[in-house]
Amino acid sequence: MYRYGVELWKRGFLVFAIKGVGYGFSRREALLEAKKPVTIPRGFVYRLDYRSRQVTIASLNFLRKGGGLAVPGINNGLMWIDIEGRLAGEMGDMVLDRFNGCFIERTPRGGLHVALKVDDLSLVKWRGVKGFLDNKTYGYCITYPSRLYLKYSGVEEELVYEKLSKVDLWDTGKASKYRRALKWLLGEVEGYVADVSPAEGSVKYNCVPEPVQKLVSGLSLNRLLLLFQLVCDEVGCGRCVEYYLSQLYSSEPIELKNPAYPTSVPRGLHTVLEVELLGGLRLIGASPKQLEELCSRIKYTVDGKEYSMETPPARNLYYNTLRGTYSIALKGLCPLMVANSLHGRYVPRTLCTSTLVKKVSSLTQNNPLKILELLEAVLELETR
């Protein structure tokens, strides 16, 4: 490890040291400890013209005793692409082929780190999709030949970063040469540039015609949920929402995983669920009163503790949808699909790059009579 760090230093690279060893009651706790950087001083910034001899010397001294190696991106003129394990498993061979000539390593979780030399700053202005693809250019990546040693609950584990490419980090290819490969990768997950303005990102959604709204607004809450399930089935999202709607239908709490914030509901899933669910219901004609009634029914359990919604967003969603300022994950993978993946719930085989609300909006615009047809089916079921 030390020798590789020295080799990087000789070639002008700034390097960090991480602890490399982690202890804890859980694997996650031990892993976070092992990945913790130990040589980044206060005031350090990720900037192309910022160099720190102090950091390099401290890092190499630490690596003499052990630890792991991390390499910052923009400080070294590098673009770091972090591809998470699930996506790497599906398209890893294509990544290796299209980025042939670049430094590529496999992470312990099965993901990929790809490094490119930054010779065109405009190429680093992109965002990926949380949980699938990340831009670590203004950060760092733990790199080969790092090994992490974990000890938790009587278990000992060794994690390895494996170099897959023929080239070393200092010989990696220039970003401009791989412009098409980067465009392809971002296109696969609908990545987008970081400087898109809110105005460019806003979408005008379509509600059902007023006569249909009047009929829908007169439904009981359970009938409304049943109608929404049929609408979701129609647009191909039925299985993704089935668990949540069934819990709401029976007034049962929704189970969430919350490893990071044990005293509050995690914003990730509960925000996604509330915005997608309430926004979609608004588009098919639900009234503010119905949405507020539904908000009072939404509850979550985290590690056995029950929580209600922090701030019912029904009223804001109602008017923001009409104004066209409603927005969540306008570009990228469906946020509900990502949330389901993180919670071990249903995820379609094919990655979905749209959102539930966008699909419902398309249905209400192109085939509003379908909503009426589904509404009639709900009323018929209730009368049997």
Residue 228 has pLDDT above 90, yes or no: yes
pLDDT of residue 97: 93
Tokens of 138: 């203004």
Burial class (CB in 10 A: 0-12, 13-18, 19+), 327: middle
- Sequence-distant (6+) residues with CB within 8 A of 76 are 12, 13, 14
- pLDDT tens track for 137-183: 888 999 999 999 999 988 999 999 999 999 999 999 999 999 999 88
Strands of 155-160's sheet, edge to edge?
21-24, 147-152, 155-160
- Sequence-distant (6+) residues with CB within 8 A of 333 are 129, 131, 132, 189, 190, 351, 352, 353
Tokens of 144: 């080969």
- pLDDT tens track for 151-164: 998 899 999 999 99
Residue 207 has pLDDT above 70, yes or no: yes
The stretch 331-355 carries a mean pLDDT of: 75
Confidence band, pLDDT 50/70/90 cuts, at residue 327:
very low
Confidence band, pLDDT 50/70/90 cuts, at residue 266:
very low
Confidence band, pLDDT 50/70/90 cuts, at residue 64:
confident
Confidence band, pLDDT 50/70/90 cuts, at residue 43:
low
Helices (H), 15-162: 27-34, 53-65, 85-98
- Sequence-distant (6+) residues with CB within 8 A of 43 are none
Tokens of 236: 């191909």
Q: Which of 188, 196, 153 is nearest to 26 (CA)?
A: 153
Q: Pairing relation of β-strands 78-83 and 133-135? A: antiparallel
Residue 261 has pLDDT above 80, yes or no: no
Residues in the chain, overall count: 384
Residue 109 has pLDDT above 60, yes or no: yes
Cα separation, 318 vs 282, in Å, equals: 6
**Residue 17 in contact with residue 68, Cβ under 8 Å?**
yes
pLDDT of residue 238: 92
The stretch 346-372 carries a mean pLDDT of: 84
Top pLDDT among 261 and 5 is at 5
Burial class (CB in 10 A: 0-12, 13-18, 19+), 76: buried
Backbone angles phi, psi at 318, to 5 degrees: -60, -50
pLDDT of residue 331: 43
- Residue 68 β-bridge partners: 18
Distances, alpha carbon 63 to alpha carbons 109, 129, 358, in Å: 23, 33, 50
Average of per-residue pLDDT values in the chain: 81
Task: Please measure the distance between the N-terminal and C-terminal CA atoms of the chain and give it in whole angstroms.
Answer: 72
Spans of all domains in the chain: 2-195, 199-383
